Amino acid sequence: MTDAGAPVTPPNDSDSADQGGFDLGGPPAAGKHYRVLARKYRPTSFNDLIGQDAVVRTVSNAFETGRIPQAWILTGVRGVGKTTTARILARALNYELPDGSVKGPTIHMPVPGVHCQAIMESRHMDVLEMDAASHTGVDDVRQINDSVRYAPASARYKVYIIDEVHMLSTAAFNAFLKTLEEPPEHAKFVFATTEIRKVPVTVLSRCQRFDLRRVDADVLMAHLSNIAAKENVEAEPEALGIIARAAEGSVRDSLSLFDQAIAHAAGMVRADAVRQMLGLADRTRVIDLFDSLVRGDIASAFREFREQYDTGADPIVVLSDLAEFVNFVTRVKAVPATADNLAFGETERLRARDFASKLSMRVLSRMWQMLLKGITEAQAATRPAAAAEMVLVRIAYVADMPTPDEVIRMLDQNGGASPVIAANASPRSAPAAPVASMQSSPARASSAPRAVAEASARTQMIAPLPDVQSAPALKIASFPELVALAGEKRDLLTKAALEADVRLVRIEDGRLEVTLERSAARTLINDLSRKLEQWTGRRWTVIVSNEAGQPTLRSQNQSERNQRERAAESDPRVKEVLARFPGAKVVEVRKLAPEPPESDVSGEDPTDLSDSDD
């Protein structure tokens, strides 16, 4: 635990500037100790925080209305500013000017106050910082519980900043609960953690939680550009975009990488130098590799990959960059405005728009899934380069193959016959080329007939076609026979669709012309044609007509029921029954089978007139 009792006056060291003890930036002067950019440009006020507008707005409103909680907990990935925000909170709580004009906590800190320098340098005696990674026990928390009762020595509040609070032991958390729930008015707690799920809910319920989000790449890029101007460093926008994307939303990581890039370039920071420093493949060459894969040109893809590998590119990194570009193209296709992000290079954005207009979402999704699986395989392989080449082969091989829904569509268009059988039936005709997202390579096109022939031979060897001519074909002459056949085959869905969604126009053996209701399924015609061929042993032609057609069977049955009910209600005996039982009504009228002549002695009408009470 840091508990230094140094004076509040600014220190006389090389890290401090002349105005108020804060370093205002600029290149290091001769003879001064160099300070890394991540520390030199560390935010000192809420105005300096980037990408955390929600946190700043919430804290600002709390300070203005006097609703200041006793504890905050800050969570987020590494380098987004958790500890820095905790120190800024401590500074805002204890902000005080020498003339005493500021009477309470405020987020408006235009000039350094009395305690600001010591707080930001983590040496103020009333702002105690503890690293929970090295102070995990209950004894460390007990020291805080013992000291929290004493009033601050010089500041307005005693602020306890505990970094990586999730590292505390269970006993330490339990020892903290009472103090955290009812602390003295002069004590405030600020916790920071990267593993919010490891913090007990009993602690979380006693704190206000702030989730510090990842900083967007374009915001990081603008931040790096401002720092480059202050440091008098020339940098290409593309180089700054590469650094911003490599930082993955972490401000500290971006500044560390930019610091490294400045030292690596020894002059102007160029994109090629940054890629070489980070071990990344050239973005243009990655796009060329992507172009070769979507065209199915395996030879060109091999040549491009080998050239990148010979120049020192890691095969895993090449596949990862390829997957990243696939993701970018997919995002551009889904949201075209994504291509306006300046964090990506101009060439990358232009070519991504071009690919997004040519490739379907299914092709991009398939390539993404294959790359994810291929990266895992290459990482586990003893020869990553060979494994990466096999991944490229798989991607290029399926580039001009139809997707499953396109295969189904082709089968439906061919009347249910597979393309292999159709090609085998007419060997003189060239097989139809599958739908390709981009133009296929000549090598792939020349090998297509042989592949189809081999697949046809394998299909015949494994599952020979049944001889439909050997079995007598079933003839259907009427639509009710067709409905009855569906019932015999126990295809209840098709039977219900024929009764409710189909209006007959005309029917002949092998030909059916109908009109569909609006409730009919889109695949009903194709399904009906295929099933009729299976049931009858001959090909059926099912046509959707523009004529009105007959009413559906369900409508006809309903009409017949209505007629029987009206006839029953007009019968004198039924009228007499309905009159004797007010509220009764005819529910159903059924025809009974005729009885044998010897038992038919009653002479009653075989029609059963049923009534029931309401």
Please give the model's pTM, rounded to 2 decimal places: 0.53
**Nearest residue to 55 (alpha-carbon basis) of 27, 28, 76:** 76
Locate CATH 3.30.300 in the chain. Answer: 479-550
Which regions of the chain carry the CATH code 3.40.50.300? 37-211
Displacement of CA 127 from its chain's centroid (Å): 42
| 431, HSE (Cβ side, Cα atoms, 13 Å) | 24
5 has pLDDT over 90: no
Give me the CATH code for the 219-397 domain, please.
1.20.272.10
By three-state DSSP, how is residue 494 classified? Answer: helix
pLDDT at 561: 81
Whether residue 191 is predicted with pLDDT greater than 80 in this model: the reply is: yes
Q: In this predicted model, what pLDDT tens digit does every residue of 232-274 receive, in sequence order? A: 889 988 889 888 888 888 899 889 999 989 888 878 888 888 8
* Gyration radius of the chain over CA positions: 40
Between CA 312 and CA 476 the distance in angstroms is 72
Residue-wise pLDDT for 131-173, tens only, equals 888 888 888 888 898 899 899 988 889 999 999 999 999 999 9
Rounded mean pLDDT of 287-310? 88
Alpha carbon distance 360, 330 (integer Å): 9
Query: Could you give phi then psi for residue 168, rounded to 5 degrees?
Result: -65, 150
Please determine, looking at this structure, whether the domain spanning 479-550 carries the CATH number 3.30.300: yes
* Amino acid identity at 197: R
Look at residue 438 in the predicted model and tell me its pLDDT.
41
One of 3.10.20.340, 3.40.50.10860, 3.40.50.300, 3.40.50.720 is the CATH number of 37-211, namely 3.40.50.300
CATH 1.20.272.10 placement within the chain: 219-397
pLDDT top residue among 349 and 581: 349
Interatomic CA distance for residues 51 and 219, integer angstroms: 7
